[in-house]
Amino acid sequence: MRTLNASFDPAVVARIDQRLAGIENAENVDILLAIESGSRAWGFPSPDSDYDCRFIYRRELKDYLRLDPLRDVIETPLDAVLDVNGWDLAKFLKLLLKGNAVAVEWLMAPFVYGGQPGFRAEALELARSVVTQAATARHYLHLGESIWRPSKDGTMPLKRVFYALRPAVALCWLSERPGVAVAPMHFPTLLRETGSAVLIRDEAEELVARKAVTRELGTGPVPTAIARFIDGAFERGRERWSGGAPRPLADAVRSTDDFFRRWIQADQMEPDNQDVR
């Protein structure tokens, strides 16, 4: 199930494997999916980019029957190289139903450390059936607008331009595909597949190439074409997808509940005489 490329440092990958195994043992959980997120997965890493491992886990069946629920996140100490944390399956599915683009993207990640056979494919099939385009688009719009803050003279940290441009392109990708809610996570793929991004493709690819060889891009003027593209994408996004997100449809909730029960119960049914902690 592992899908990594030659850019991944084997020593760092070994540390990630060790940390994930330690989490399973210490927390008594099964990791269903572990992926690389952040700039490496988005397709615009820097030479000093850290490793952002994210994972989805399930606890034992009895842990979901407690009156005092356990935390639904597992976080590990952050250091200069590793950022490893994950969500409980229940939290992940609740966010998925709301159209949280982060949850969707974890299922689309190009780099996978490991997980349970069949989980990713089945979860992605669920996402495509229950997540609405409007919910995902609102998430991208909120994310992008919270980052897009150029100064009055048109400058901003160029690293942050990527974090605004990616959701802007995602909004355009979605608008070109009515009814589709799951956009590519990988920015170069997103850029190639978005027709309206053709006017900024060369400049965006040049920025990606600069970031790949530069530890710190610093602050500078945002290329005019890119600034106009981002402004236009967010303006159209507000016109089309403003307002509160609708509640998930009953069928979507039932499908997600069924998925949750199936994956929580798999290989975990316990004897009736065993105490619930």
Cα 115 to Cα 55: distance, rounded to the nearest angstrom: 9
**Given this model, what pLDDT does residue 1 score?**
78
Q: Mean pLDDT across the stretch 59-68? A: 93
Tokens of 276: 């619930």
| Residue 117 CB neighbour total at 10 angstroms | 8
Cα 53 to Cα 31: distance, rounded to the nearest angstrom: 12
**Structure confidence at residue 268 as a pLDDT band (50, 70, 90):** low
**Structure confidence at residue 172 as a pLDDT band (50, 70, 90):** very high
Give the torsion sign (CA, 263, 266, 272, 277).
negative
| Residue 256 CB neighbour total at 10 angstroms | 20
Closest C-alpha to 174, from 188, 194, 149:
194
Q: Mean pLDDT across the stretch 94-120? A: 94
- Give the relative orientation of helices 101-108 and 89-97 as an angle to the nearest 10 degrees: 110
Cα 8 to Cα 269: distance, rounded to the nearest angstrom: 38
274 has pLDDT over 90:
no
Q: What is the mean pLDDT of the chain?
A: 90
Cα 79 to Cα 183: distance, rounded to the nearest angstrom: 31
- Which residues on neighbouring strands pair with residue 73, listed in sequence order? 87
Closest C-alpha to 32, from 274, 263, 277:
263
The string of DSSP codes covering 224-250 is HHHHHHHHHHHHHHHHHH-SPPPPPPH
Superfamily of segment(s) 10-131+248-265: Beta Polymerase, domain 2 (3.30.460.10)
Cβ proximity of 152 and 74 under 8 Å: no
The string of DSSP codes covering 6-42 is TTS-HHHHHHHHHHHHHHHHHHT-EEEEEEEEHHHHH
pLDDT in tens, 42-54: 998 888 889 999 9
Percent of the chain with pLDDT strictly greater than 90? 74
Cα 164 to Cα 144: distance, rounded to the nearest angstrom: 5
pLDDT in tens, 114-153: 999 999 999 999 999 999 999 999 999 999 999 998 888 8
242 has pLDDT over 90:
no
Tokens of 171: 């909004």
**Given this model, what pLDDT does residue 186 score?**
92
106 has pLDDT over 80:
yes
**Given this model, what pLDDT does residue 135 score?**
92
41 has pLDDT over 50:
yes
State whether residue 66 is helix, strand or coil.
coil
**Structure confidence at residue 276 as a pLDDT band (50, 70, 90):** very low
| Residue 213 CB neighbour total at 10 angstroms | 8
Cβ proximity of 228 and 92 under 8 Å: no
**Structure confidence at residue 245 as a pLDDT band (50, 70, 90):** low
The DSSP code for 149 is -
